[in-house]
Amino acid sequence: MADMQDVNKNNAQQYDASQIQVLEGLEAVRKRPGMYIGSTSSSGLHHLVYEIVDNSIDEALAGFCTHIKVTIEEGDVIRVEDNGRGIPVDIQEQTGKSALEVVFTVLHAGGKFGGGGYKVSGGLHGVGASVVNALSEWLEVEVCKDGQRYGMKFSRGDITEHIKKLGATEKRGTTVRFKPDPEMFDDTVYDYEILHTRMREQAFLNGGLTITLRDEREGKEQGEELCYEGGIREFVSYLNNHKNPIHEDVIYLSGVKGDAVAEIALQYNDGYSETLVSFANDIHTPEGGMHETGFKTALTRVINAYGVKTNIIKGDDKVSGEDVREGISAVISVKLPEAQFEGQTKQKLGNAYIRTLVDGIVNDQLTEYFEEHPATAKVILEKAMMANRAREAARKAKESVRRKTGLESGQMPDKLQDCNERDPSLCEIYIVEGDSAAGSAIQGRDSRFQAILAMWGKMLNVEKARADKIYGNDKLYPLVLALGAGIGEEFNMDKLRYHKIIIMADADVDGSHIRTLLLTFFFRYMRPLIENGYVYSAVPPLYKLTRGKQQRVAYSDEERDRLSSEMRADNPNVKIDISRFKGLGEMDPHELWETTMDPETRTLRRITLNDAIHADQVFTVLMGEEVEPRREWIEQNARYVVNLDI
C-alpha cells in the first residue's frame, strides 16, 4: 500500500485557487448547527469526522489519494491525514485571500462548484470544512504541497494563526486536527465503533483505498487498517457473513455513461429478509432514490423474463418485486457529477438519468449472467417462486383473519384498551406482557392518550418465519391490528395510530427476551417505526426503598446505593428497607403510574437505528437458525452482561 510520501502520477491536473468558488459567507453555523450536521448529539459529533474524511475521499475519487489515516487522539481530538494533492494555498481571486483560509472560513466554498477540481464528489454542498471549523474549540490544518509545508490555526471559526510556511517537505497531502467544541455538543466523547463502521463502508466502496483507523486514548487503544481490493463484492460477502448463500459467486455488474459510473453487487441467501444498501458518491442513501428504483425495476423484469423463457413461469404467473428481493443482499454504488440529494443530510438521490443507467446495466448484464450461469439463475428464480407462493399464502391468511376478526369494520383486538385521543401524534400505546401487569397498567394509565395492549405466552420469532406465519398468529397479529399501519411492503406510516410505541416488560431475562422478539418483529416488518424514532422501551424501577412513611424507587444498583445514603443522611444507623420489584405485575396501579407511565417522571429509552447493516447482522446471529455464530457472539460479549438471572 502507498504511504503518505507517495506522489500520484496524476498530479499533472492542476488544482489551484482558481478552482475555489465562493457562494456565500459563513453565517450562523454556531447558532443553528443542526441545519448543517443534523443534530448536536452523538450523530452530529461523528458527522464532523465524516465531513473532513469526505474531502479526502473526494481526492481518492479524483484519483489522487491512496491512503487516509483517521486517529482519535487523547482528549477526543480528531486527526485526519491523507496523501492527496493538498488543499490549494494560493490566492483565491474572488476574496483576495488564501484558498486554504477560504475553504475553512467561508460557507459554500470548495473545489466542487466550478467543475474543474472534481468530477464527482460526496461533499457537494461545500459546507464541510468550514462547518467543522465553526463547531470546533480549535482546529489546525497542515498542507504539504509543491515541496512546502503550510500551516494555519483557528478557534471556533476565527483565525488565530494566519497561513505560514513551515519548511520544505517531500510529502504531499492534507492533515486536519480538531477538537469539537463542548459548548456546541451534548457530549464530545467519540465512539470508535461508530467511526469504524463508517470507515469500513468507505473502504468497501473505494476498492484499493487504504483507510487506517486508530484510537490512541488511554485504556481504549485499538486500530485497524481497512483495504478491500474486491470493493463492493467484498461488501456483499460481509453482509452475508452469518447467512447461508444459495449460490457461490457474488454477482457483479457495472457500467459507465458519460462521467457517471454505477456498480452493483448481489448475492442471495436462504433467509427471508431483503438487505439493499445504496450509495451515491460514497454517501449512504438510506431512503434510496433513482439508483435503487432502477435496480429494483430491472431485477424484477430480468427474473420474470428468464422464468418465461425457460418455461418455469407459465402464463401470467409473474413474481413481484418483493418476491425477487427476498433473501437478497445487494450493494448499489453510483458516482456522478452534480449529484442531487434531498437536503444536506443526503438521504435520497434525485438524478433521474441514474435510474436509466442502473436499469440498463442490470437488464443487459444480469440477463447475460443468467444465460452463462443457468444453475445460479434457476436457484434464484426458484427462491422467488417460493416467496411468491408464501406471499399468496399470506394474502389468504390475511383475508381469513379479516373475516374472522371483522377487520373490514375496523374492529380492534380484544386485548387492546384504547385511548380517547384520535390524533396519532398525541397517542401512545404500551405493549405489556401478562394480564396482571396489563391490569395495573389499565387502572393506572391516563386513558386520554395512553392505550394498553396485553400480550401473553411465547411470541413468534419472525427471523425464522415468513410473513404468512404472522397473519393469524394470536400473539403478533393483534399488535398489527392495533397499530393499523400494516406490515412489510404494505406498511404505511400515514395509517399509524400511535406515535409512541412503548415496550413495557420486566427488568429480567424473560423481559429482555420479549423486548428482543418485539424488536426483531419491528426491524424486519415495520422498520420505519424504528427509523422515525417511534419505538421506546420503558424503564421500570428495580428497587423500593422505605424509611418509615418515606418511600423512594431506584432504577439501578448505583441509584439504590445513592438513595439509601441520602435517606439515612441525618442518622447513619437508621434502617432502610430495600425490596426488589419482581415484576410489573406486583406493582399497584398508583406505583406503576408514578414510576413507569407518568410522562413527568418516567424514563423511556428510544430505540434508534444508527447502523442498519450492523443491526441486520445482530438479529441474524441472535435470532437465526445457525447456532455457531450465536455461540461465538455470546463468548465475545459475555463480559458485558448485567442482571444475569441465575
Of these ranges, 15-24, 72-81, 125-134, the one predicted with the greatest mean pLDDT is: 72-81
Q: What percent of the chain has pLDDT over 70?
A: 85
Task: Render pLDDT for 350-406 as a digit per residue (tens, 0 to 9).
Answer: 899 999 999 999 999 999 999 999 999 999 999 999 999 888 887 777 676 665 554
- Report whether 46 contacts 53 (CB < 8 A): no
Task: Render pLDDT for 264-283 as a digit per residue (tens, 0 to 9).
Answer: 999 999 988 899 999 998 88
Q: What percent of the chain has pLDDT over 90?
A: 47
Q: What is the pLDDT of residue 505?
A: 87
The DSSP call for residue 264 is E
Residue matched to cell numbers 496523501: 83
Task: Render pLDDT for 174-210 as a digit per residue (tens, 0 to 9).
Answer: 999 999 999 999 899 999 999 999 999 999 999 999 9
Q: What is the pLDDT of residue 564?
A: 87
Q: What is the pLDDT of residue 235?
A: 96
- pLDDT average, residue stretch 622-631: 70
Residue matched to cell numbers 471559526: 157
Q: What is the pLDDT of residue 13?
A: 60
Q: What is the pLDDT of residue 326?
A: 92
Q: Which residue has the higher pLDDT, 470 or 258?
A: 258
Catalytic site residue 506?
yes
pLDDT band at 8 (very low <50, low <70, confident <90, very high): very low
Task: Render pLDDT for 61-76 as a digit per residue (tens, 0 to 9).
Answer: 888 999 999 999 999 9
pLDDT at residue 24 is higher than 70? no
Residue matched to cell numbers 510520501: 5
Distance CA 149, CA 173 (A): 10
Of 433, 463, 468, 591, catalytic:
433
Distance CA 139, CA 153 (A): 6
pLDDT at residue 97 is higher than 60? yes
Distance CA 470, CA 104 (A): 54
- Report whether 485 contacts 491 (CB < 8 A): yes
Q: What is the mean pLDDT of the chain?
A: 84
- pLDDT average, residue stretch 600-617: 77
* Phi, psi (rounded to 5 degrees) for 111: -90, 10
Of 137, 364, 508, 611, catalytic:
508
Task: Render pLDDT for 512-571 as a digit per residue (tens, 0 to 9).
Answer: 788 888 888 888 888 889 888 899 999 888 888 888 888 888 888 888 888 888 888 777
Catalytic site residue 364?
no
Distance CA 595, CA 601 (A): 7
Residue matched to cell numbers 461533499: 123
pLDDT band at 593 (very low <50, low <70, confident <90, very high): very high
Q: Which helix (H) or strand (E) holds 445?
A: none
Q: What is the pLDDT of residue 219?
A: 93
pLDDT band at 643 (very low <50, low <70, confident <90, very high): low
Of 58, 282, 326, 506, catalytic:
506
- pLDDT average, residue stretch 229-248: 94
Catalytic site residue 323?
no
Distance CA 62, CA 120 (A): 7
- pLDDT average, residue stretch 398-417: 66
Q: What is the pLDDT of residue 347?
A: 78
Catalytic site residue 510?
yes
Of 73, 76, 510, 559, catalytic:
510
pLDDT band at 1 (very low <50, low <70, confident <90, very high): very low
For the entire predicted model, the pTM comes to: 0.76
Q: Which amino acid is at 43?
A: S
- Report whether 208 contacts 229 (CB < 8 A): yes
pLDDT at residue 122 is higher than 70? no
Burial category of 646 from C-beta neighbours within 10 Å (exposed 0-12, middle 13-18, buried 19 and up): exposed
Distance CA 600, CA 86 (A): 53
Q: How far is CA 475 from CA 259, 418, 456, 471, 519, in A?
A: 53, 18, 7, 10, 14
Dihedral Cα 522, 529, 526, 602, nearest 10 deg: 30
Task: Render pLDDT for 430-475 as a digit per residue (tens, 0 to 9).
Answer: 999 888 888 889 999 999 999 999 987 667 777 777 777 777 677 8
pLDDT at residue 590 is higher than 70? yes
- pLDDT average, residue stretch 278-297: 92
Closest to 361 in 3D by CA, of 465, 253, 439, 448:
253
Q: What is the pLDDT of residue 614?
A: 67
Note the helical H segments in 24-127: 34-37, 42-61, 99-105
